[in-house]
Amino acid sequence: MSSSLYVIVGVTGPLGAAIARALHKRGDRVRGVNRSGHGKVPSGVELVAADVKDASIARQVCAGATVVFHCASAPYTDWSNPAAPKPIRWTDEADHLPTITKGVIAGAGSAGARIVYGDNFYMYGPVDGPITEDLPWAATDRKGLARISAVQDLLNAHVKGNVGVDIGCASDFFGPEVLNSTVGDRVFDAALQGEPVEIFGAPDVLHTYSFIDDVAAGMITLADSPTAHGQVWHLPNDEPVTPRHFMKVAYEVAGNPHAIQIADDRVWQKLGYQAHLHDREYIVGHGKFATMFGAKPTALRDAIRITIDWLRARK
């Protein structure tokens, strides 16, 4: 077993869980952190309860860490009554993410650990054309501004020498443990049951989707790099496909005829989705990562098959 200790903040979210599985498989020591101290983690992974918004608590749970994976975001649980937490499907990152990030910086800095942060592409705002790391952070909405705030705090801490940082960005998640996503359980449950599913936004424009195990592998690659780069990296994905194609493949793999519908724009916008993520081509370039580290993302059909198999076993 490696002498390094990897701390995963947000270990029971989909990305944190995928990183924990991968690290555990290769024999690393892993400490997982979430708000409750409860949840599914691989056997042998330490699980502790902590609210890392409190810097002193963050320092305690990060003690001894070599790398801290920041996979936490706004909670998908209402903790207003700690004795009876309630799941919530949609949440506002602006109320939580910047404070969580400051706590993670304090915790990792006190341990002399590096931070590898899992982000998305909200900070760029609406983009026409391929999404690459050299684009300006032009978001003006609350979610995008919250993401910008978190990334700026992380990179500023890196520049000051307080903590080494790398930031890995991914698009819409799918895969094992992924539920709250545009291509999460609502799509795959429908495919398994042969029931209708709605496409949010334009059905026939190319879109990049991120298989959660590939995202975890990219994050671990950043963690394994000899030094922190203080940069944003777009993590590898298979080739973009249209939402209609993605869902047809999901039904095919599930063994059911597809039953695809197009959602009314007013419906999906009310659910909290950002229109610019779904009304135009959304093609993410990962050439920078591939040049530095190489890239072997999972083929889409194989990734969907793994997802379907996981859901079948879960049910």
Q: Residue with structure tokens 């690393």?
A: 28
Instruction: Name residues whose C-beta falls within 8 Å of residue 10's C-beta, 6 or more positions apart in sequence.
Output: 16, 33, 34, 69, 70, 71, 72, 73
Q: Judge contact between 65 and 6, C-beta under 8 A.
A: yes
Q: Judge contact between 24 and 215, C-beta under 8 A.
A: no
Q: Residue with structure tokens 């502790």?
A: 48
Nearest alpha carbon to residue 35 among 74, 63, 90, 5: 74
Residue 13, SS3 per DSSP? coil
Return per-residue pLDDT of the chain as tens, 315 residues. Answer: 568 999 999 999 999 999 999 999 999 999 999 988 988 899 999 999 999 999 999 999 999 999 999 999 765 555 456 556 555 544 566 778 999 999 999 999 999 999 999 999 999 999 999 999 999 999 998 889 999 999 999 999 999 999 999 999 999 999 999 998 889 999 999 999 999 998 888 899 999 999 999 999 999 999 999 999 999 999 999 999 999 999 999 999 999 998 888 877 665 565 555 666 778 899 999 999 999 999 999 999 999 999 999 999 987
For domain 5-314, give the fold: Rossmann fold (3.40.50)
- Other beta carbons within 10 angstroms of residue 196's beta carbon come to 10
- Bridge partners of residue 87, in order along the sequence: 77
Q: Residue with structure tokens 């404070």?
A: 99
96: enclosing H helix or E strand:
none
Measured N-to-C along each axis, helices 97-111 and 55-62 cross at an angle, to the nearest 10 degrees, of 50
